[in-house]
Amino acid sequence: MALAREPLKTSTTRLQRWIGRWWRQQSPARQDRFATIGPLVSVLLFLAAITAAFWYLRSEEIDRATDALRRDTEIAQQQIRLHLIENQEQLVRMAREVVTRDIDAAEFLVQAGAFQRERPEVRHFTWVNAQRRVRASQAVLSYHRDDPSASPVADPSLPAEGRRSEAEEAFLAARETRQPVYSRPFTDASGQWVFQVQVPLIDRSSFAGTLIVEYSVEALMRFFVPTEVTRRHRVTVLGPDNRVLVSTVSSMPGQHNTRAPSLQYDLPLAPTANGITLRGQGYRTSIGLIGNTLFWMVVALSVLTVWMLLGTWRHMRRRSQIQNALVQETNFRRAMENSMLTGMRAMDKDGRVTYVNPAFCAMTGFSEADLIGLYPPFPYWPPDRIEENTRLLQQELQGRSPVGGIEVKVMRKDGSIFDARMYVSPLIDPKGQQTGWMTSITNITEAKRIRDQLSASHERFTTVLEGLDAAVSVLSVQHSELLFSNRSYRLWFGADPRGHALLANSSAGVPYVPEPDEEVDGLSGLPTQPLTETGAQPREVYVESLQLWFDVRTRYLQWTDGRLAQMLIATDITARRRVEEQVQQQAERAQMTSRLVTMGEMASSVAHELNQPLTAINNYCNGMVSRVRAGTISTDDLIAALQKTGRQAERAGQIIHRIRQFVKRSEPQRQPAHAHEIVEDAVELAGIELRRRKVTIHTYVAQHLPLLHVDPILIEQVLLNLLKNAAEAIDNARMPTSRRHIELRVIPRHTPEEGGVIEFSVSDMGPGMKEEVLARLYEAFFSTKAEGMGIGLSLCRSIIESHRGRIRAQNLYNGESVTGCRFAFTLPVDLSVRAESAPVPDVPDVTAASNPNA
């Protein structure tokens, strides 16, 4: 660095020597002339620079004003065009309903009234047919045309054949183009400027009339041009001949010397060209800056002239030294200011802004030149808070600002507003005198937004919890303190934490034993991490004091302060439990009734079955009595006869015991059961009916079947019902002996839908069933029997589905002829568990026999 400065210093010294030598070579007059011309040249150069800068700023301001005018005019046009397009789409839908006869004139008036109430710019809504006759018309209250048929020719708002009017031209255009048409502006009967949109009614490709909606130009301007646009610029609607129809600014009566706007921008108004133009007009605001600029120019030129005339080389050197030191200090302070994100603003005791840092300028969007020297009200004050900010400024100037700061609204240069917090401290000069106030401003918009969102989220969450029908509570594990409870909890248990403990501790759980190397929280000695990760385990709890059943779900969580807490959700399920109990009781009664009905239907078969052993016993007894009286029986013969009599009695007892076990009332109880045992019991009981009807049954039970977790009596009831129905179908159809067979098969299956199941199937060789019967087979109280109750198969389906199984029926075909019917139901099992390790023999066939001793 030192080596680089040496050549520069040498060159400066040579230049100074050359200038000094040249100056000394000049005559005194010439030196005076140069001394006089020098300040003048400097002043002229400075004036030229200031003038160029002013014109540049003025051009920039005009460009900004032009852009703002163009933007505001486009916003106003888009607001009006979007509203007109939305109305047009609604009118097209109404026209479609009118054509398809979905609405009549009365309904049209109702819809037109609703359409008009939501759109204040609509003057009237009329439905005219292809002959231009008014079918229905709806007008605003201030628009007097109650009778649509009165003087139609004199009304300029209605089309009339042979009359040149804007309404007639729009009507003809809509009829030709078959598209919505906007009319040119015209004055209606009340003298207001309006225009129409006419939507054609097309009925089967023929023109059936139009829907006419008349818009008020003045209402469109009033309701759909944003207020902020009209405050900044003048907006005017022009007709086809540039005639002013409506304007947001009206001239005072007798005032004709108004200054013409210096800026304007035109855009078409309606969605389609109808001659209406929207014009935005503005004025340049740079006129007031000229005087202020000239004032500062004169001050600067005066200071420069005094400095040029009174400065000397010695003063220049001293000033240069001071200036260098000042530049260094300024650069240091500027670097500090630029690195800060907090806005700084200094004011004197009169409230005039004397200093702003770059952070403050970046925060507000105003440059330092825009703010320095301003008195209140400041441009970054929102217009609706000027009085409040003035009061806060007076409080600040009086030294009564709160230590914690003041929360204020600040408006940026683009008009957007943000929240800020302002801190004020006195500004002291080197002499210890207060010269003003230093204010620091921090943007708190994001922090306030997050705080408001958190507050709103908490309020919504609390509202949802308070509105739940379930009781929600949170209990501190360490102190047993109720941290939160909703309305339902307070209604049932009040603010007592014992209600939470009653619900949570109603069933003993397995205590958690932590590992020795686990990190264990100090709260109650419970490990926080495993507890908070454990999901809710629902259980049902009965509260004796409330006479209510609850579905309770609990889980551990960390509260907002880090404490371990238990959350509990208890839902009242008393009504559900009562319904479930009633349904269970009804199902039990239905099952019992079905078994009794089945036994009642088999009464004759049971009587015949019991008659055989009883007849045999009677014969044996009579024979033994006769031979004892005659003395012709030996002891061995007597013992043999008594043994045969005992076996017949035992056979009758088994039949009665089996029937009693089947029909006795018992609680449904699911237990592990073997499929072959269920089949044996069902076949034994059904064999009574099968033998009476001379029907043979063949059974096949696969070996090594897993255990079934079912109620054996209910499954036996289903099998008995299916076997009895099959036998009745064969017997009632008087099938020949070759087709009087039933096949019962029990085999394991595995399907993607059901998984591992055991399938029970009953196939007969009867006449089958009709398709309409198959469709209604499981309907309650539907039966194909003359004396049937229609609950057998419906109850069978309920029993199978209660065991998570499925039942289905289908006809068996040989070609196109029906050869029988097949009922099959499945019961889910775990095929990986093989409970029947030993081979199970097939259940023997049961055939009808006429031998009474069989």
Tell which wins on pLDDT, 286 or 55. Answer: 55
* 69 in Cβ contact with 264 (< 8 Å): yes
- pLDDT bucket at 522, cuts 50 / 70 / 90: very low
User: Minimal CA–CA distance to 112: which of 80, 129, 132, 135?
Assistant: 135
Q: What is the pLDDT of residue 825?
A: 92
Q: For residue 178, what are its two tokens?
A: 């078959």
Mean of the per-residue pLDDT values for the chain?
76
Give the per-residue pLDDT at 714: 82
Cα separations (Å) of 769 from 759, 762, 795, 808, 819? Answer: 22, 14, 19, 13, 10
If one compares 549 and 604, the residue with the highest pLDDT of the two is: 549
The predicted pLDDT at position 642 comes to 77
The pLDDT of 246-270, averaged and rounded, is 72
Most trustworthy range by pLDDT among 155-169, 277-291, 324-338, 698-712: 698-712
Nearest C-alpha neighbor of 609 from the set 653, 642, 647: 653
Q: Decide if pLDDT at 121 tops 60.
A: yes
Helix (H) or strand (E) holding 323: helix 313-338
How confident is the model at residue 847, as a pLDDT? 38
Of the ranges 17-21, 305-309, 610-614, 642-646, the best mean pLDDT one: 17-21
Residue with the bigger pLDDT between 613 and 100: it is 100
Place of tokens 């970046």: 362
Per-residue pLDDT, 469: 80
The confidence band for 249, taking pLDDT boundaries of 50, 70 and 90, is confident
DSSP symbol at 846: B
**Which stretches does DSSP call E strand in 665-740?**
671-673, 696-701, 708-710
Q: Check pLDDT > 70 for residue 33.
A: no
Question: Average pLDDT, stretch 232-249?
Answer: 84
**Beta carbons of 164 and 148 less than 8 angstroms apart:** no
What confidence category does residue 514 fall into, taking pLDDT thresholds of 50, 70 and 90? Answer: very low
Element (H, E) at 293: helix 289-310
Residue 698 has pLDDT above 90, yes or no: yes
Burial 358-394 (b: 16+ CB within 10 A, else e): bbbbebbbbeeebbeebebebebbeeebeeebeebbe
pLDDT of residue 540: 84
Query: Residue 723 has which token pair?
Result: 């076997």
Q: Is the pLDDT of residue 720 over 60?
A: yes
pLDDT of residue 210: 92
pLDDT digits (tens, 9 = 90+) for 422-474: 888 888 887 888 888 888 888 888 888 888 888 888 888 888 888 878 888 89
Q: What is the rounded distance in angstroms from the CA atom of residue 281 to the CA atom of residue 69? A: 7
* The model's pTM: 0.35
Average pLDDT of 638-656?
68
Of the ranges 8-22, 174-188, 426-440, the best mean pLDDT one: 174-188
* pLDDT at residue 507, as a whole number: 41
CA distance 570 to 579: 19
Does 447 or 507 have the greater pLDDT score?
Answer: 447
Tally the C-alpha atoms within 13 A of residue 670's C-alpha that lie toward its C-beta.
10
pLDDT tens digit sequence for 330-355: 888 777 777 777 888 888 888 888 88
CA 382, distance to chain mean position in Å, is 36
pLDDT value at position 173? Answer: 87
What whole-number percentage of the chain has pLDDT above 90?
4
Q: What is the pLDDT of residue 826?
A: 92
Peptide bond into 377 cis (omega under 30): yes
At residue 211, the 3 state secondary structure works out as strand
- Tell me how far apart the alpha carbons of residues 849 and 852 are, in angstroms, rounded to a whole number: 8
pLDDT of residue 822: 92
pLDDT at 152: 45
Q: Residue 206: phi, psi to the nearest 5?
A: -120, 145
| Whether the predicted pLDDT of 419 surpasses 50 | yes
Residue 124 has pLDDT above 70, yes or no: yes
Residue 598: the pLDDT is 58
State pLDDT tens for residues 783-793: 555 454 445 67
